[in-house]
């Protein structure tokens, strides 16, 4: 797999969260994890990307494209109870040193660098298995969200 390009396509074109999400989703797909973007969790939070693998494990990815957004995110630990693995994802060129600080739990949280075409895991996430009841609830939430999106793509009038 090609490594993410460290340069934007033009000087004025910086990567945005949607670009990073696209690269992350491609990476997850190639690791046989089926991703959903902007997925609600059982605690009312919304994950940037949640992926379900063939064994039923859930991976959550939180995307950051600015240092200000990263520093202002005090809610991210609330995601840990809703996934088996947690990753941060950032665009190429983003400073990685903040993710080594204790607040960002480097022993638990993985790190992905992405652009709009691909992504690379820089640090693997530790696996912390969900309990059975939470896993089932989140798998059902994932499946129903995916089915709803597919159905509404086929029949947009349903959303009205």
- Report yes or no: 95 and 64 within 8 Å, Cβ to Cβ: no
CA 32, CA 89: separation in Å to the nearest integer?
A: 18
Contacts of 143 by beta carbon, 8 Å cutoff, 6+ apart = none
Q: What percent of the chain has pLDDT over 70?
A: 90
The tens digit of pLDDT for each residue in 15-42 reads 699 999 999 999 999 999 999 999 999 9
**Confidence (pLDDT) at 11:** 30
- Report yes or no: 137 and 120 within 8 Å, Cβ to Cβ: no
**Confidence (pLDDT) at 6:** 44
CA 13, CA 8: separation in Å to the nearest integer?
A: 6
Overall average pLDDT of the 64-68 stretch: 94
**In whole numbers, what is the pLDDT of the chain averaged over residues?**
91
- Report yes or no: 148 and 136 within 8 Å, Cβ to Cβ: no
| Pair of tokens at residue 58 | 């859930």
For residue 96, give the 3-state DSSP assignment: coil
> How many other C-beta atoms lie within 10 A of the C-beta of residue 45?
14
CA distances from 106 to 125, 130, 152, 157 (A): 8, 19, 38, 45
Dihedral pair phi/psi, residue 156, rounded to 5°: -60, -20
C-alpha angle 41-113-147 in degrees, rounded to nearest 5: 35
CA distances from 39 to 53, 94, 138, 154 (A): 16, 24, 10, 19
Higher pLDDT, 102 or 11: 102
């Amino acid at each position: 797999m090609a490594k993410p390009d460290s340069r934007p396509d033009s000087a004025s074109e910086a990567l945005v969260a949607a670009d990073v999400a696209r690269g992350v989703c491609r990476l997850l797909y190639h690791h046989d994890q089926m991703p959903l973007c902007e997925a609600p969790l059982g605690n009312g939070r919304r994950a940037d990307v949640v992926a379900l693998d063939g064994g039923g494990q859930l991976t959550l990815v939180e995307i950051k494209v600015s240092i200000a957004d990263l520093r202002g995110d005090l809610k991210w630990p609330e995601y840990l109870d809703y996934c088996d693995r947690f990753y941060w994802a950032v665009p190429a060129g983003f400073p990685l040193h903040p993710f080594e600080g204790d607040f960002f739990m480097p022993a638990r949280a993985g790190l992905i660098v992405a652009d709009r075409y691909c992504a690379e895991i820089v640090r693997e996430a530790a696996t912390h298995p969900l309990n059975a009841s939470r896993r089932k609830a989140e798998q059902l939430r994932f499946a129903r969200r995916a089915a709803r999106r597919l159905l509404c793509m086929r029949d947009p009038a349903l959303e009205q």
